[in-house]
C-alpha cells in the first residue's frame, strides 16, 4: 500500500516522537510487523534529538538479534548518511553498519577511513572490525 507524502511524514514524526519518549518496544514491534519501515532509518539517524538517534541504534541492535534476515533492508537508507556534513550523523551511520554486519558495506566504510573527524575515524575502524570479526 502506497502512502501519501503527508502520511509518510506523519509516520516518521510519530516514530521519532515515540523514540524520544522511550517507547522503543512499540517501535520494535512496528518494525517487526512492517519491514517497509526500514526506509525511515536514515531519517531517524539525522534527527536532531539525541534520544531518537540512540533509540535508533538500540532498535537496530534488537532487530539484528530478533530478525537478522530483515535488517539489511535499512542499508540503502543508511549509506547516504555516511556523507552527511554532520560528523555525529556520519559516526552513527557507520556504527549502525557495524551492527548490521554486512561485509558488502566494508568499501563504504573504507571510504571514511580518512574522515576529517577523529571520532568518526574511530567508529569506522570499530565498525569494520565488528563486521570482519563475524564474517
Residue 1 has pLDDT above 60, yes or no: no
Question: What pLDDT does 8 receive?
Answer: 85
72 CB-near residues (< 8 Å, 6+ apart): 100, 102
What CATH number did the domain enclosing 76 receive?
A: 1.25.10.10
DSSP letter, residue 2: P
Question: What pLDDT does 2 receive?
Answer: 61
pLDDT class of 134 with cuts at 50, 70, 90: confident
Print the domain residue range for 62.
5-134
Question: What pLDDT does 102 receive?
Answer: 95
Question: What pLDDT does 28 receive?
Answer: 96
What are 29-84's pLDDT values in tens digits? 999 999 999 999 999 999 999 999 999 999 999 999 999 999 999 999 999 999 99
pTM: 0.92
Residue among 105, 98, 103 at smallest CA distance from 120: 98
What is the number of domains present in the chain? 1
Q: Can you tell me the mean pLDDT for 21-33?
A: 95
The string of DSSP codes covering 14-63 is: HHHHHHHTT-HHHHHHHHHH-GGGGGGHHHHHT-S-HHHHHHHHHHHHHH
Amino acid at each position: 500500500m502506497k502512502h501519501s507524502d503527508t502520511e509518510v511524514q506523519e509516520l516518521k514524526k510519530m516514530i521519532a516522537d515515540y523514540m524520544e519518549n522511550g517507547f522503543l518496544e512499540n517501535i520494535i514491534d512496528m518494525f517487526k510487523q512492517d519491514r517497509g519501515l526500514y526506509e525511515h532509518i536514515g531519517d531517524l539517524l539525522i534527527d536532531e534529538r539525541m534520544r531518537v538517534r540512540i533509540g535508533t541504534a538500540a532498535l537496530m541492535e534488537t532487530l539484528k538479534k530478533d530478525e537478522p534476515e530483515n535488517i539489511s533492508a535499512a542499508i540503502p537508507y543508511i549509506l547516504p548518511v555516511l556523507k552527511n556534513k554532520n560528523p555525529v550523523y556520519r559516526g552513527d551511520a557507520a556504527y549502525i553498519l557495524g551492527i548490521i554486519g554486512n561485509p558488502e558495506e566494508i568499501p563504504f566504510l573504507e571510504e571514511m577511513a580518512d574522515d576529517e573527524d577523529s571520532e568518526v575515524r574511530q567508529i569506522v575502524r570499530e565498525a569494520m572490525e565488528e563486521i570482519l570479526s563475524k564474517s
